[in-house]
Structures are given as C-alpha cells and as structure tokens.
Amino acid sequence: MTVKVKVWDLPLRLFHWALVLAVGFAVVTGEIGGSWADWHGRFGLIVLGLLFFRLIWGFIGSNHARFASFVPTPARIAAYLQGGWEGIGHNPLGALAVLALLGLAGLQVGTGLFANDDIAFQGPLAGLVDKPVSDKLTGLHATAFYVLAALIGLHVAAIVFYVRVKKHNLVKPMLTGTKQVPRELAVPATGHSLGRFAVAAIAAGVLVWTITDGLPDRLTKALDVQASVAGPAW
Amino acid sequence: MKSKLLLTLIIGAASAAAVAGPIEDQIRFRQSAYSFVGWNCAKIKNQVIDHPETYNKDQVVAAASAIAATANSGLGGLFGAGTDKGTGWKTTRLKSEFFQQPDDAKNAGVAFITEANALAKVAETGKIDDIKAQFGKLGEACKGCHDKFRTKE
C-alpha cells in the first residue's frame, strides 16, 4: 500500500535546479573566458548565494531538508548498508554525496573569490591577499574543479542507476516534490513557509552582497594589498 | 673556523647569484613583458568595462599600443629551447609541451599578436563597444595559451 507524499519543499527544489543552471553557466563561461570571464564571476556569486541559502535552509527549512534529519552518522550509514534504514528523504549514502557536493561547491566558490586569471579578471576578494596566494588559490580552483566534476558525474550516474536498475525515479520527486511511498513511511515535508523562505533568501543575498561589496572600508582598506596611491599623470 | 664559515657563506651567496644566464634572462624578460601587458590590460578593463564613466581615449590608446608594441617585439625569441625550466623573477610556469607542439605554440603566439594589433587599431576609433569586444578576443587569446602551455600554481 503506497501513498503519495510531499518530500521536497518548493524552495529546496528551486535551489537544486537553480544550482544546476548556475554551475552549468559558470563552467561554460569559465571555459570560454575573454569577455565571459566577468559572467563566470557573476555565476560564481549566484552559486555562493545558493549555497548560503541551502546552509540556512538546512536549519529552518522543512524536516527532510534539515541537516539534522539526514546527517550521515556512522550508525545511520551502517544501518543503511545492512538494509535496516527506512526513510523517504536523503538516504545516508546519498546524504554523504549531498554534503560532499555542497562542500566542494563551497571550496570552489571560496577559492574563486580570491582567484585571478592573469589577464583581466579577478575574484572580488583577490585584492585582500598577496598575488602569490591568489595564484595558489587559482590553481586550487582549477584542480578542485575536476574533483567537483567527477562528483557531479557520480551523482548523475547514481541517479541513472536508481532509475534503470532499482526502478526508482529520483528525478521526478525533485521536480514535482512528491513521491509514492509505503504508507508507514509517509512523513510529509512540513515546517517550510513563505516567510522562512524569504528570511533564508534575504539573508543569503545580504551575505553575498557583504562579501562582494559591503565589507566596511575600514577593513578592506587595511587588508587590500593592491590599494595604492596613483603617481603623477606623465 | 670562523673564516671557514665565512667562506662557505660567500660561496653560497655567489652560487645563488650565479643563476643569471641566457635561460634565466629569457625567462625574466618574458615575465616582465607579460606583467607589463597585464598592467595595460588592467587599465583598459578599468576604463572600458568596469568604470566606463572614466573612459579616456588617449589613455586607452596608449595602453593598447603598449600591448601591441610588446606583442610585436619578437617575444618568440624569449622562448628558447630549455626555458621551460629555470627561474627569472620567479620559477617559470612554461610547460615543456610548448616545445613538443611547436605549431600550437606558434599559433598561440600569433593569436596574441593578431588580437593585440586589432585592439590597438580599434582603440583609435574610440568606439567603446568595439573596444570591449576586441578586448574580449585578446583575453581569449591570452587564455588559450595559459590553458595549454602554463602550469597551474
């Protein structure tokens, strides 16, 4: 006996697909470079905002979106591997992948903020560190990309495996929000609201603005290694 | 004992200073050339893209001609065999692939010259949108070589 139940709240689904788009555009514009380098930076900031949102939503979103409900403790993973896990949200292994994806995406935008391309683009915080440090972080940004890409590949492959082999469509619930599940497991998503969504979205926006534009002058001037006084005009 | 220590220090300092040579000179000159290009690119980006209200035609023309002059100065001569290893102002990041794929290396160099010359030309017209577009093409030429022939830090 199965019933249809709401698993993923709307903000979570919007986050997921917006992240797919923003990362996709960031990759493409980053590969082209030239005039698109600035767009690469903008999409990176959108990714940063989305990650902030997800972080906040992990505390104030609906039950299945909260970190506390799916953080893969060793006990949960062991139970899952022995077939003893029951639930409708992220399973413990899936949760591990979710956290790894979020963490790596965070590393990617974090290093990007301080990166430079030695052409005509630099991240909004590149001026706060010395050039060699920025260069190192740029290298890390380029290398970590491959790890992130591999992880995204694994994520997609796992979903294909679920659809083809386990006959379990994970994509549809991420689109519609609902899943067909056994009645005894049917715990619907609750706890989200428009108000909470607004709080998380605004807080994420303010955080991104603070990092890119809103740091107090007093602080950035003290840290900005590139700040200098212009010489004469000849 | 003390004089032995002093001698060791002097020899050590002398051998550290003895890194200047044809290879190191080439690396140092090309690092200087590309840094200078970078400074001029930053000026153009600032006036044409980031703060167009500060656009000053003469300054952009000056920056674009400086880039073109550097591109046309025969930079290929600074990429002698063996210069994929060594230290100029700092350790070179040139990949040895540069010497294994001479045709691609040449194309990368020629692309820089072509786009830099086109930028100098378009800068004279004072048409900001055209300058912006050509500046993007120059950036792509830079990136083409960076991606292919420069190691990541």
Q: Does A226 touch chain B (CB under 8 A)?
A: no
CATH of B2-149, one of 1.20.120.10, 3.30.300.30, 3.30.450.20, 1.10.760.10: 1.20.120.10
Least confident piece of the model among A177-191, A211-225, B9-23, B87-101: B9-23
Q: How far is Cα of residue B47 from the mean position of the Cα atoms in its chain?
A: 21
Domains in chain B: boundaries: 2-149
ipTM of predicted complex: 0.81
pLDDT at A184 over 90: no
Q: What is the pTM of this model?
A: 0.88
CB contact under 8 A, B142 and A118: yes
Contacts of A113 (CB under 8 A, 6+ apart): A44, A48, A123, A124, A125, A126, A211
B12 — pLDDT class (breaks 50, 70, 90): very low
CA B143 to chain A, closest CA, distance in angstroms equals 7
Q: Can you read off the two tokens belonging to residue B75? A: 């930079």
Candidates A37, A38, A139; nearest CB to B153: A139
CB contact under 8 A, A120 and B45: yes
Who has greater pLDDT, A222 or A123?
A123
Between the alpha carbon of residue A44 and those of residues A14, A63, A105, A194, B151, the distances in Å are 17, 28, 10, 26, 23
CA B138 to chain A, closest CA, distance in angstroms equals 7
Candidates B34, B44, B143; nearest CB to A34: B143
* Chain A residues touching B116 at Cβ < 8 A: none
CB contact under 8 A, A33 and B143: yes
A33 within 8 A of B139, measured Cβ to Cβ: yes
A and B: number of Cβ contacts within 8 A: 47
Q: What is the mean pLDDT of residues A132-159?
A: 96
Q: Residue B94 in 3-state DSSP?
A: strand
Q: Does A42 touch chain B (CB under 8 A)?
A: no
Q: Does B111 touch chain A (CB under 8 A)?
A: no
CB contact under 8 A, B42 and A37: no
pLDDT at A74 over 70: yes
Percent pLDDT > 70 in chain A is 98
Closest CA to B73 of B19, B43, B30, B40: B30
